[in-house]
Amino acid sequence: MIYESSAQTDVGQYRKINEDYFYVDNSKGLFIVCDGLGGQAAGEVASHNAVEFTLAYLCEHWSEVEQANKNPIGYYKLTQLVERAIHETCRKIREIADSDPNLDGMATTLTMLMIIDGNAIVGHVGDSRLYLKRKDEVYLLTTDHTIYNEMVSKYEDLDPTLIQKFSHCLTRSVGNDDSVAVETLMFEARQHDVLLLCTDGLSNYFPGEQEVAEMLSGNHVNVIADSLVQFANGCGGKDNITAIVIRILDVDDFELNTHRIRLDMSDIESGDTIE
């Protein structure tokens, strides 16, 4: 599989510290973006540690990634690996915060993407986002874990304008508690797909989906990433801004991956689960 990526981060127009942190590893197909919470240096510590702890766990268990193609549900099981990595990261960040009064209350969002053999595995907590541009359409693949979203989904007749002030109040974050519910997803990456991982310092300024699709339609990922940061700053830059842009250039194993994703339950070996 062949893809290209570019990442940019910026402190924005109002903040003194950039509490966003990202990681890009094209050789492993790993991409992570975090938006630290807690104010002052605590958010910065949380986002940096979240990336480091997650990477450490994944590297320790990388044999599961390397062996994924040897099991009919091996790629599905990678969602479990991602979930375990984020759980361990959450526990460790909470442990650090509890041991240092200066870091009390620190936490972070975490959205990660792993691309393995044409399969995209996502782990997500918070309100950073993953977008997919496929052909001329843009899809938001993650859920904002906020009070606003939970209330809108629970109460169908509720006027969203009445609770707009809760749109950035998180219901999930990495480090706020000893554990966290991790949203996971797996999908088939296709040739010409464009993926965007970003913090809310960028997504807060996005207009409609068609405009976002146009923003992701450039020929060079580095130009797209730069222009997204410039766009957010031009709209006010009230928060830190981070964007990771990935374009899928070629999927060598397309037919085989299609078979894996559209797995028939009869293919699952006795004793295997996909929970």
Write the secondary structure of the chain as one string of H (helix), E (strand) and C (coil).
CEEEEEEEEECCCCCCCCCEEEEEECCCCEEEEEEEECCHHHHHHHHHHHHHHHHHHHHHCHHHHHCHHHCCCHHHHHHHHHHHHHHHHHHHHHHHHHHCHHHCCCEECEEEEEEECCEEEEEEECCCEEEEEECCEEEECCCCCEHHHHHHHHCCCCCHHHHHHHCCCECCCECCCCCCCCEEEEEECCCCCEEEEECHHHHCCCCCHHHHHHHCCCCCHHHHHHHHHHHHHHCCCCCCEEEEEEEEEECCCHHHHHHHHCCCHHHCCCCCCCC
The predicted pLDDT at position 265 comes to: 33
- What is the predicted pLDDT for the residue at 44? 95
Q: What is the pLDDT of residue 199?
A: 98
Q: For residue 160, what pLDDT is reported?
A: 63
- Distance from CA of residue 80 to its chain's centroid? 15
Confidence (pLDDT) at 263:
39
pLDDT tens for the chain, 275 residues long, are 899 999 999 999 999 999 999 999 999 999 999 999 976 679 999 999 999 999 999 999 999 999 999 988 999 999 999 999 999 999 999 999 999 999 988 999 999 999 999 999 999 999 999 999 999 999 999 999 988 777 776 666 766 666 666 667 899 999 999 999 999 999 999 999 999 999 999 999 999 888 999 999 988 999 999 999 999 999 999 999 999 999 999 986 544 444 444 333 334 343 443 33
Cβ atoms 186, 121 nearer than 8 A: yes
The residue ranges of every structural domain in the chain are 2-256
Fold entry, domain 2-256: Phosphatase 2c; domain 1 (3.60.40)
pTM of the model: 0.88
**pLDDT confidence of residue 41:** 72
What's the pLDDT score for residue 14? Answer: 94
Residue keyed to tokens 């990660």: 112
